[in-house]
Structure 1
């Protein structure tokens, strides 16, 4: 009897989790579509574009396509005069891992002036990146630059925090290449609402930095 009850509870919990994943994913996707752009010519001009960081090199030694396509998307916006400045928000939790500086060096190599690039070294999570863009860098509207699935979540978080953000979708990768990332994204969307319920704050805030 106890075993049956345990199995029944486990099944109900499984169903609950599945429903939560589906509902959270649907809500985030459906409420952000009007704020996302895939063609550079259609993107409204903004002063700042915020690139969401990721690692450049995968564990197998290959270039991370998410990184490559976000880099290209940021450069496209800058070259098309859709943005004046680029804020790169990423993880620099150790001396040997520095997402923002890597992006910066590659953008400079493409021709973006160094004085047009700002770095946020404490963008450990998407929530941190969005809130810090507002609280540290004083931004109340900007273009988020990442893949569409990531932009949906980032823009949803930003708008929930009172930021008038839109997203420019970098080229996506194949479903096979990004299977693990897409799977993690499903649970990350549930965590968005848990973070809201728990009033989650960024890991670090700090002194104000003016983008000028």
Structure 2
């Protein structure tokens, strides 16, 4: 009898968890859709673009298409006058892994002048990148640049933190390119809701720039 009760409780908790995940995903996507842009011509102009970091290479050493397309999208926005400068925010947790530096090198190869690039070395998570953009870089009107699935979460965080943000979707990767990334994002959205409304994780409060 006790075992059955425990099983019922576990099933109820699992069901509630699944419902919570689904609701958070729907809410994050729906609530941010009006500020999501896919066509450059219709994108409003902002002074600053926030480019969210990712690894330049996959785990097997191949070129990461998420990185490639994200950098190309950011360069296009700059070249077409949709942003005047770019904050490159990513993870730099060791001397062997430096997303902002990799992003800067990619942008320079795409012809973006170094004077237009600002590097944020403490964008360990999307939440950090958004909070630091406001608190460290003093920007509250920004254009977020990443793939569409990632932009929704970033926009949600930005909106709840009082930032006037829009997003531009970089070219998506082929279907099935990285199922793990999509699953991780699906789980990251409920975490973003919890972070914004309940948990309030600490972010790096100092200016980590080199």
Fold match (TM-score > 0.5): yes
The structural deviation recorded for 1:201 is 2.6
Question: What's the counterpart of residue 136 of structure 2?
Answer: 136
1:117 aligned to 2:96? no
Separation in structure 1 between the aligned mates of residue 207 and residue 70 of structure 2, nearest angstrom: 27
Question: What's the counterpart of residue 187 of structure 2?
Answer: 187
The structural deviation recorded for 1:178 is 2.3
The structural deviation recorded for 1:127 is 0.6
For residues 28-77 of structure 1, the C-alpha deviation after alignment (integer angstroms, 9 at most, x for no partner) is: 00011110100111110111100000000111111111101101100110
The structural deviation recorded for 1:207 is 4.0
Question: What's the counterpart of residue 108 of structure 1?
Answer: 108
Question: What's the counterpart of residue 198 of structure 1?
Answer: 199
The structural deviation recorded for 1:192 is 1.1
Separation in structure 2 between the aligned mates of residue 142 and residue 29 of structure 1, nearest angstrom: 19
Listed as ranges, the gaps of 5+ residues in structure 1 are none
Equivalent pair of 1:54/1:99 in contact (CA under 8 Å): yes
For residues 128-168 of structure 1, the C-alpha deviation after alignment (integer angstroms, 9 at most, x for no partner) is: 00000000000011100000111000011001000001000
1:78 aligned to 2:67? no
The structural deviation recorded for 1:199 is 2.1
CA RMSD of aligned residues (A): 1.2
| SS of equivalent residue, structure 1 residue 144 | strand
For residues 75-107 of structure 1, the C-alpha deviation after alignment (integer angstroms, 9 at most, x for no partner) is: 110111111101000000100000000010111
Listed as ranges, the gaps of 5+ residues in structure 2 are none
How many residues align? The count is 208
Separation in structure 2 between the aligned mates of residue 195 and residue 201 of structure 1, nearest angstrom: 10
Which portions of structure 1, spanning 4 or more consecutive aligned residues, are displaced by more than 6 angstroms?
A: none
Q: How does 1:1-212 map to 2 (within 5 A)?
A: 1-196=1-196, 197-202=198-203, 204-207=204-207
The structural deviation recorded for 1:175 is 3.3
Equivalent pair of 2:72/2:110 in contact (CA under 8 Å): no
Separation in structure 2 between the aligned mates of residue 177 and residue 6 of structure 1, nearest angstrom: 40
